[in-house]
A = this chain, B = another copy of it.
Amino acid sequence: MSERRVTIKDVAARAGVSIATVSNVFSGNKPVNADLQERVQKAARDLSYQVDRAASQLRSGQAKVVGVLVPDLDDVFFTSLVSQLEVMAQKDGYDIIVASSRDDIGLEQSRLRTLLAWRPSGLIVIPCSDAVPAGLDNEFARLPMVFADRVPPGGSIVDTVAIDNCEAGEIAARHLLELGHRDIVVAASNVAISPIRERVRGASALIRATAGADPTVIELGSNAERGTEAFLHWLERHKRPSAVIALTNVTTLSTLSALARLRIDIPDPVSVVGFDDYPWMSARKTGLTAIRQPIAEIAAAAWERLRRRMSGDASPPLGTVLQTSLQVRDSVRELSPAARDDAQSHDLLQDQETKTAANAVH
């Protein structure tokens, strides 16, 4: 019963060539005659030979694996990214190994270590904080690497791919402001995360410029249920705003759940601008107006940069910034002049508190 593994030797023997030739046929490192190639292929097929990745990798040092580290595998945004990456990786002959840091900086480090132990030919990282994960610093030089989505603010020493988060916030705010909304709440996940901070900044700046006061910013975390509770709690003890901007797909869910629980209709009395674009957003009676992130483009750009690096490109790091767009559906209403005045007075009433909340953020 002891079925020995079929190795390159067996194939070589059966095809009547040296093992080096077999290797060359499979790796394509050196040209080999057409008929010999044929013979080798046939022999391999007959024995159902598969090259052993471990051996191959050990000798060559090359892995044909890329590690993908994301903060949360339950968040559609990240899994969509992973899904796209998997497709492109497969097309280029790479396998991906995924790890989730579960938004824990300690776990991030440990997961990173295990990813590095694979000696992958590249890494795509969505860090869980602004800090460049320790242990990665001495790898920058040798290991192709792309940071996506949550890129450390300021110039980076690695390639980065992200959306224009500040602009995303602006777009959402502008839409609401143009329709007369002044009393706007910004539902962030966690302002410690730089892209979120940027989105808040973009929205806040525009709202302040137009409405004369910073919006209230609340943090709902990255878990839909807990965020729902948090927002419910907030709604209980504050005046109801005329509009909410949710800055992630999870906070969008939290916002909608809380409003649904209180049987507050959308868009009247409360308008909502969500984030991301997923099928469930249009599977509702009042479709959700939302900021669309170009997930496919983000994934494509990240992979493209990584591919370049993996094939030896050593040019200075590049920061790719992609644009978001507004997907208008039915969850934002136009405020009548009367309602606007009403909203305005809310602003005045809440001015002080608003400022405090916003200050906490900046």
Q: Encode contact with B along A80-118: 1 for CB under 8 Å, 0 otherwise.
A: 101100110010000111111010000000010110111
Contacts of A95 in B (CB 8 A): 97, 99, 114, 118
Contacts of A257 in B (CB 8 A): 279, 282-283
A52 within 8 A of B: yes
- Contact B279–A253 (Cβ < 8 Å): yes
- Choose among B55, B97, B100, B256 the residue that contacts A87 (Cβ–Cβ < 8 A): B100
A73 within 8 A of B: yes
Q: Within A37-68, which residues are at the interface with B (CB < 8 Å)?
A: 48, 50-55, 57-58, 63, 65
Contacts of A224 in B (CB 8 A): 279, 283
Interface size class of A (residues with CB under 8 A): 35 or more
- Contact B74–A80 (Cβ < 8 Å): yes
A225 within 8 A of B: yes
Contacts of A225 in B (CB 8 A): 279
Contacts of A114 in B (CB 8 A): 95
- Contact A111–B97 (Cβ < 8 Å): no
- Contact B73–A82 (Cβ < 8 Å): yes
- Choose among B65, B96, B260 the residue that contacts A283 (Cβ–Cβ < 8 A): B260
Q: Encode contact with B along A212-251: 1 for CB under 8 Å, 0 otherwise.
A: 0000000000001100000000000000000000000010
11 A-B contact pairs sorted by A residue (CB < 8 Å): A3-B142, A53-B54, A54-B119, A74-B80, A87-B100, A95-B114, A95-B118, A253-B279, A257-B283, A280-B283, A285-B285
A-to-B contact residues, CB < 8 Å: 3, 48, 50-55, 57-58, 63, 65, 73-74, 76, 79-80, 82-83, 86-87, 90, 95-100, 102, 111, 113-114, 116-119, 135, 138, 142, 224-225, 250, 252-254, 256-257, 260, 263, 265-266, 278-280, 282-285, 287
- Contact A86–B100 (Cβ < 8 Å): yes
- Contact A83–B90 (Cβ < 8 Å): no
Contacts of A50 in B (CB 8 A): 113, 116-117
Most buried by B among A76, A97, A256, A284: A284
Contacts of A254 in B (CB 8 A): 283
Docked CA distance A79–B3 (Å):
35
Known pairs A53-B117, A253-B283, A257-B279; A83 contacts B100 (CB<8 A)? yes
Shortest CB-to-CB span from A77 to chain B, Å, is 11
Contacts of A96 in B (CB 8 A): 97-98
Docked CA distance A116–B79 (Å):
24
Question: Which residue of chain B has the shortest Cβ distance to A57 in the bound complex?
Answer: B54
- Contact B280–A117 (Cβ < 8 Å): no
- Contact A99–B86 (Cβ < 8 Å): yes
Given A53-B119, A73-B86, A284-B284, 20 extra CB contacts under 8 A = A50-B113, A51-B117, A52-B58, A53-B118, A65-B97, A73-B83, A74-B79, A76-B76, A76-B79, A86-B99, A86-B100, A95-B118, A96-B98, A97-B97, A224-B283, A254-B283, A260-B284, A260-B285, A265-B285, A285-B285
